[in-house]
Structures are given as C-alpha cells and as structure tokens.
Structure 1
Amino acid sequence: MDHIFFDDWDKLNRTLIVGVLAYVLLVIFLRASGKRTLSKLNAFDLVVTVSFGSTLATILLNKDVTLAQGALALLLLITMQFLVTWSSVRWRSIKSVVSSEPSLLLYRGELLGDALHATRVTEDEVLAAVRGSGIAALDEVEAVVLETDGSLSVVRAPGAGNGSARSSLDPIAKP
C-alpha cells in the first residue's frame, strides 16, 4: 500500500526519458511514412491509430519493454499500414476487406429508409448534416452520402440555390 503514489525516482526518470524518446521516434516515423498513415479514412485506419497509442503507452509504462523493442513495434505498425494501403490501391479485393463503400442515405430530397437502417444513421443526423451545409430545404439536396470515414457529405442539387438570400445585399455590395 505504501507504493501507490510513489515508488522511486528511477522509474519516474525511465518514464520521462523513454517517453520523450519514444514520442520523438513516433513523430519521425509518422512524418517519414507520409500523410496517409494517420488519415481518417476507414475502420482499419482507426485500429492502426489506436494501436499506435497502445504501443506508445506500453513503451512508456512497461519496464520490460526496451526503447528498441518499442521503436521496432511502432515501425512494424507503420510498415503494415503502408503495405495494406499500398495493396488496397492495387487490388480491389484487398480494398474491399479494409474499407467500406460509401452509402447513399438521401437522394433528390427523399430519405432512403433501408439505407438509414442498415447504416444505423438517424434521420436527425442527416438533417443536421444538411443544415450544417447551409441548406434549408431537402429539395435543394441531390444526395447525402455516408462516407467511408463516417462523415456525411451533402451534395447540392444542380441549379439549387438561386442566391435569393443575397438579394438584399446587392445595393450594399455595389459601389
């Protein structure tokens, strides 16, 4: 019970030194591996990102894991991420395993109930995305798509938006 709050300075020093070095190595590895490593694209990328955090925590707090072992683990995760994404660009079968397809949730102003149910997205979430895009009426929307990263994209209908909200500004805008 007497070691709950403080054990010894050596453990704190190890956490400090290894933590700083592991963090610097992780940043260097991520910068060297490119933007795609931490992109927000699909569930696979989320798993890799969580794995980075878990590995970093293990390096920091587990005295049985050396900095070299931790660095190798981080490098292995980044290498595997690179190989999977590289492969998924070249082979459709691999892409279909690691990423999902976008889902159409609303088309030409009409909510697609089966798609909403299958993707576990509520009507309110779709409406919020439409409002967040600055659109006030569903008939101004061509489509709402649930993207592979979980975000909702709103596509304005062709010819929608006649600019009527700006008409009162025309006399002010003219010199």
Structure 2
Amino acid sequence: MGEFLNAAIRALIGFTILLLFTRLTGKKQLSQMTIFTYITGITLGSMIGEMVIHGGVEFMEEIEAMVLWGAFSFIVEYVGLKIPFMRVVLDSEPAIVIKHGEIQVKELRKMRLNMDDLTMLLREKDVFTIRDVWYAILEPHGELSIVKKAAKQSVLMEDIGLQPQDPSYLPGELITDGTLIRKNLLEFGKTEAWLIQELSKRGITSIKQVFYAELSEDDTLFIQKK
C-alpha cells in the first residue's frame, strides 16, 4: 500500500509539473515548435517519466532538477524575446530556398534538405510544380511559406472590382448532438425563439431532433438531423 501511495504521489507531482510547463510555454510549443522547444519538452517529459517509474530516495533531487530545467527553459525563451541575436541563435532565421523562381542549392544544403524534402513541403501547400513558385521561405519551425508567380496567384475580388462586406462573425455551431450552444447563440445576437422558428421552416419541431446546426457568416443555417 505504501509503494502504491508513493507511486501515486510521484505521478501527481510529475503530471502537475508537466501541466504547468505546457501552460506557461504558451501555444508556441504546439504551433511554432522549434528544435529547441521540441528538445526541451522531450527532455522534461523523459525526466518526469523516469521519476514516476523509477522513483527512489533521490525523489526531491529529481523534482529540483525538473523545476530547474523548466526555469532554464523560460529564461532562455525570455532572453530570446528581448535580445534579437539570442533569438537567432536559439530559433535560427528563415531561409530562402527558392528565390525569383530559382532553387537556392546552397541554402538547401545548409538546411540539410534534399529535393524530395522540398517538393514534399510544396505539396503540403498545394503546389505541385516548382515552376509556380516565385519565393519559398523555410521558417524556423520547419514550415514552408511561399509566394507564387503572378500568373499563378489566385484572383481577389478587389482585383475584379468587387467590394464584398466583411463577415460580422465567424461561422459557429448552434446545436451539437441535440444540445443548444447558448453561448454561441448570444454571440451571434440570435434568440432561441429565432432558432426554433428557423427549425420549424425545415419541418423540425424540437432541438433534440438536430444532430448539428451551424450558422454561417452569411447568416444562413446549416442543419443536419439525427
């Protein structure tokens, strides 16, 4: 029983430290993960796993090491925010891998990329031929930003003299699995009476009959019944 309690305490402490770390590092850890933040997260996770599974008499020392590791990570991130040079050292700089439609071979070699890697990154941006690309920039977190050649760019409405109105809100769900999302209803400036009236136009007598309902930015309602 004592061993089980000790394991539960170690797991709870490890979970708490990891949760605090992920919350304090913000969304960059997920959406803009650099090599540094990736290694930092992996190392901390490994340390916590070792503590939880193999915890022993050095329990307090292990906690201290994890707290210090997290603190060092925050300090380095803070320094990177304040000092541009350190930001370059930690996260590196964007690299132009296609310039004026020409592949920059030296940059590719510097980034340890081959042509298969480059074409794969282009396909992820729905570009299937290098001939369509005017500029391609490899960002520090590994994603590719591209500027297509003028002849290959999408036509904007303003290019053909149209001036559409910007949407008042983003599309959002009003009903999910028969449950009304009141928060979104208020956000869109709608009432439950309005929604019931709209449902009745589709022959629906109860919100419970609806699996999913979404209000689009053009004020139209998408409804799928159960």
TM-score, normalized by length of structure 2? 0.57
Matched, 1:76 2:61: no
Q: Deviations over 1:106-134 (max 9, x none)?
A: 12332111211222111122112222211
Q: How far, CA to CA, are the matches of 2:143 and 2:86 in structure 1?
A: 22
Q: 1:92 to 1:158 in 2, by over 3 A?
A: same
- How many residues of Structure 1 are paired with residues of Structure 2 in the alignment? 153
Q: 1:38 to 1:64 in 2, by over 3 A?
A: farther
Q: How far, CA to CA, are the matches of 1:65 and 1:58 in structure 2?
A: 12
Runs of 4+ in 1 over 6 A off after TM superposition: none
**Which residue does the alignment assign to 2:37?**
45
Matched, 1:63 2:56: yes
Instruction: Report the secondary structure of 2:121's partner residue.
Output: helix
Which 5+ residue runs of structure 1 have no aligned equivalent? Answer: 1-8, 164-175
Structure showing the higher helix proportion among its residues? 1
Sequence identity (%) = 18
Which 5+ residue runs of structure 2 have no aligned equivalent? Answer: 156-226
**Which residue does the alignment assign to 2:203?**
none
**Which residue does the alignment assign to 1:105?**
97
Q: RCO (CA 8 Å, sep 6+): is it higher in 1 or 2?
A: 1
Mark the structure with the bigger radius of gyration. Answer: 2
Per the TM alignment, residue 162 of structure 1 is displaced from its structure 2 partner at its CA by: 5.1
Whether the aligned pair in 2 keeps the contact of 1:105 and 1:116 (CA below 8 Å) is yes
TM-score, normalized by length of structure 1? 0.71
Instruction: Report the secondary structure of 1:35's partner residue.
Output: coil
Q: How far, CA to CA, are the matches of 1:45 and 1:100 in structure 2?
A: 12
Matched, 1:132 2:124: yes
Matched, 1:144 2:136: yes
Task: Output the amino acid matched with 1:63.
Answer: G
Whether the aligned pair in 1 keeps the contact of 2:132 and 2:152 (CA below 8 Å) is yes
